[in-house]
Chain A
Amino acid sequence: VSLLGAANEQQRAGVIAAHMDLLLRQTREALKRAKRDGTKVVGFFPGGFVPEELIYASGAIPLCLASGGDARVADEALSLVPSVICPFARAQLGQMMLRTDPFYDAIDLLVVPSTCQHLKKIGDVCEYHEGPRVFKLGVPYEHDKDFELEYYRDRLGALKQRLEALTGNDITHDKLVEAAETYNHVRRLLRVLAQARRGTHRTEDGSERAISGIDFARLNHASLYADPVAMAASLEEICASLPSGADLPADALGGATPARPRLLLMGPNLAAGDYDLFTMVSDAGADIVVEDIFEGIRDYWQTVDLSGHQDGIEALARAYLIDKRPAAFMRGSLLPRLDFVSGLIRDFTVSGVLWYQLLCCEFFDEESYYFETALRKRGIPMLIVESDYHSLDSGQLRTRLAAFVETLVGGPIDA
């Protein structure tokens, strides 16, 4: 059964699950082979500032570490860091301590970008405890001055050297360009898949989307671990079975009011495994149709163009630091990000924003005030949901979600 031919949610989930199983099985097998043949595995924390092209070009296996959603794993780290370190960051440490996840156990080098206070601290703890060898990749908070780009370029150069020393392979310009294209292909396919969600596709169960939010998140998460070539093959197959979102007109719904409210999911992170919210939103009568997430979701809106550049590292630095929309931790990022999500709200016919933040993420907690106020002025209501991975699926939250959905469809059902 193809995704398009799937008659209901269960069948669609089955198709995605089959792809996921295959991709992750292949990755696990690749890691086993790597241990045998000496291929190096390089883990890195998410956020979009560690160029995996560089790792891939070195011949190492890149793994973006984004597992989460399980409170027991996050709590495992409480013997080393206090509970005010966010559960997502603690989950990364918990996985390394438990050593039950083959992805985390396979790492020869851990690249820690200086993008999030919580993950930085986990990097510090890993370094102190002589866990995987750590490379700290500083990321400037601004990029409008020459010295900031120079610094980031130099650090990428240092990372390149470290990878070459680790793998024994030279990262040539050609290899880098080829690796960038490999990942660009994955990004483009994810974008096609994402844009397909702008339109509607009515299935037998009455839902109105080409691919559900949870399925898209799962596939996106798979792309953080899977070999990019295999990932692209899977995505090509899935995309071929869907109407092309890229061909949809600006008003993809043709002015029609969707039967169920369409939501934008925003927040600091969405871990691989942290999917309860999708189900709860669906149960409440709405659909998550697009997302703007800092950590845990691969950025598919921007590609990395290295062709025509003499200095691949310089081009990589520009692409990652300057060319893409600024991340939340960067100075002056509020307005550009508000513009970006306003575009998503328009293009994906979104009627409400679900702000999903993890407990103790003080940074996004501050931002929630700004976005809630700014979006309200644009007529878009926002609901803030906080999770510590322990008690998300609670009656209280279900009630809040139901009330939010009622608001979006025009007031309480029984009013």
Chain B
Amino acid sequence: MREFLSLCGFDEQESTALLPRVQQVFARMGLNAADVEVAKSRLTTYYDMELRGVRRLMGLFLRDFCNIILMRDDGRQQIVHACMLPGMDILGSAIMDNTAEVGLISPNTTFMVVLGCVFGKFVPILEAAERQWLKAGSVAHCGMVKSRVGLISLGLIPKPDMTITSGYVCETSPKVNEILEQVYGIPACFVDTVEDRELREYPDASRATVFAAKSMRAACRRIEQLTGFDLTDDMVWRVLNGRRPLDDAMNRVNELIRSADPVPLGSTHLNLLLALNCISFTGSELAEAVEILDTLHTELLGRSRRGIGATPKGAPRVLAIFPHHHSDPRWEYQANRAGLAIVAFDFQGASQLAGSADAISDANDPYEVIVQHLHGSFTQPLGGRIAIVLDMCRRLKVDGVLNHYHLGCRYVVGDAMILRDAILKELGIPVLMIEWDNFDPRSYNQEQYEAKLETFTGMIETRMS
């Protein structure tokens, strides 16, 4: 176990302090010594564990994993469960920084990293949901909502006092929480926006952002009613301002990955960077996360200067459509082995209005600042998303696009074919279409992916030559 903790970036003293907590958590999870051996093997196979930044990143997820599972033991008596709701990481920090009684957890992504990517034991959680009301098969239901039902039904996380989710583009997530309310008696709360943006209005998203801000504020009032804790705007502003260094550090790492040749970090790590954004940091954790990213950046810069990369110099650069696999690193690992460098994914892109003062109708409203992610690729109407993807392809000078579309999400799946056609027509670069579930390791099919990647790489190389 100590070796495992050392691999996760903890020094001797930290390991000693953390060990009882980790042992308690692993006992609850049913993780034994053999599982830890598997985890060590997976870490060294799929991740650049020689980088201190990566080791400490893994440590950060392990600690968040423990914090989630032991939240009630740690004294937080009322727990709100958030999922598929960008911005709740900020509200979670604002709540937990100001009260020791209330906790807000967003467990799914952390569980996918630790139980999925590291231990390779995520499938039982999905199967638990499938024994309830979410059918098996990636076509039927999204693995993200299955993981929520699985975690709660198996009792792997503290039973929440309330669930909260968004229906920004998803019908399934709110319906899952509504059924959870009926089956488990957990009150459900929702944050919504409106989906009425027309292409002729692009990039304006003001109706969507103003509505979402009001909805998020109303949801916070419900949390206040449940917990008795008053969440003030000042508290939210403090977190928003406090997280800027984290955003900056994250941008530095992402920019380096996008610009360096060879790409200095394996594509399996991109999921870790994404999942990091879902954690509600409290106290000194935020500064630690910034330090970890800075350490990673320094190490990657060093690699870059020495010409060390996850793929050879000049390797084809590709943009992924939809994020990287959340619970299984094998696909990204295989893509790298096939010689492809994944430099970004489309959800990182946004319209030109994103981040500008023009996009915010009330600068005094912190909730409006939080919901600015609605300018991003994900929530755009099809035409807007295409504009953003084409812009990203041009800016990042990619040689191809990996359109791995998540079957469980009708919203993104519906875009897939037209997106491909637009890329082919406008840019003429190859697009590889792969159907999968973004959160379910069972959708991995090595032989199929190998054959597809070989063809795709061949097409890109022919074009490049």
Contacts and interface: CB of A to CB of B under 8 A. Distances in A.
B194 A128 contact: no
B60 to A, nearest CB: 34
Interface in B186-245: 188, 190, 192, 194-199, 207, 211, 214-215, 218
A207 interface: no
Nearest to B195: A114
A79, A362, A363 — which one has the most chain B CB atoms within 10 A of its CB?
A362
Interface string A217-234: 000000000000000000
A140 B192 contact: yes
Contacts of B366: none
Contact of B198 (A134, A365, A369, A370): A134
Interface string A73-108: 000000111101100000000000000000000000
B176 interface: yes
Interface in A359-400: 360, 362-363, 365-367, 369-370, 374
A155 B211 CA distance: 13
Nearest to B411: A117
Nearest to B200: A127
Given A366-B133, A366-B141, A127 B410 contact: no
B190 A155 contact: no
Contacts of A141: 167, 174, 190, 192
Nearest to A86: B410
Interface string A127-162: 110000011111111100101000100010000000
A367 B171 CA distance: 12
Nearest to B132: A369
B178 A128 contact: no
A369 B192 contact: no
B414 A85 contact: yes
Interface stretch (B272-280, B344-352, B380-388): B380-388
Contacts of B195: 114, 120, 136, 138
Contact of A124 (B135, B178, B188, B382): B382
B6 interface: no
A155 B410 contact: no
B413 interface: yes
Interface stretch (A40-48, A309-317, A329-337): A329-337
A125 interface: yes
A235 to B, nearest CB: 34
B182 interface: yes
B434 to A, nearest CB: 12
Contact of B134 (A145, A151, A366): A366
Contacts of A138: 194-196, 207
Contacts of A365: 135, 140-141
Nearest to B145: A366
Contacts of A362: 140-142, 171-172, 408, 410
Nearest to B174: A331
A136 B382 CA distance: 13
Contacts of B170: 117
Nearest to B193: A138
Contacts of B407: 84
A82 B141 CA distance: 16
Contacts of B172: 362-363, 366
Contacts of A124: 381-383, 414-415
A80 B382 contact: no
Contact of A127 (B142, B169, B182, B383): B383
Given A120-B195, A362-B141, A369 B414 contact: no
Contacts of B386: 128
Contacts of B452: none
Interface in B371-425: 381-383, 386, 405, 407-408, 410-411, 413-418
Contacts of B142: 362
Nearest to A135: B198
Contacts of B100: none
A175 interface: no
B139 A114 contact: no
A140 B194 contact: yes
A82 B176 contact: no
Nearest to A112: B196
B461 to A, nearest CB: 28
Interface centre among B178, B179, B416 (most CB of A within 10 A): B178
A127 B199 contact: yes
B355 to A, nearest CB: 24
Interface string A322-334: 0000000101111
Contacts of B188: 331-332
A85 B382 CA distance: 15
B21 interface: no
Given A362-B140, A363-B171, A370-B133, A81 B414 contact: yes
Interface string A176-189: 00000000000000
B442 interface: no
Interface in B136-176: 139-142, 167, 169-172, 174-176
A360 B410 contact: yes
A81 B414 CA distance: 6
Interface in B57-72: none
A16 B141 CA distance: 40
A155 B210 CA distance: 14
Q: Which of A124, A128, A155 has the most CB of B within 10 A?
A: A124
Given A124-B414, A363-B172, A84 B178 contact: no
Contacts of B167: 141, 331
B179 A334 contact: yes
A147 B213 CA distance: 11
A131 to B, nearest CB: 12
B413 A82 contact: yes
Contacts of B199: 127-128
A118 B413 CA distance: 10
A128 B418 contact: yes
Interface in A190-240: none
A360 B135 CA distance: 11
A151 B194 contact: yes
Nearest to B416: A82
9 contacts: A81-B414, A82-B414, A117-B169, A120-B195, A127-B381, A128-B199, A331-B190, A362-B410, A366-B141
Given A81-B418, A124-B382, 16 more contacts: A82-B416, A121-B382, A128-B199, A128-B383, A140-B192, A140-B211, A331-B190, A333-B178, A360-B139, A362-B408, A363-B171, A363-B172, A366-B133, A366-B176, A367-B179, A369-B133
The 3 closest A-B pairs by CB, nearest first: A138-B196, A369-B133, A121-B414
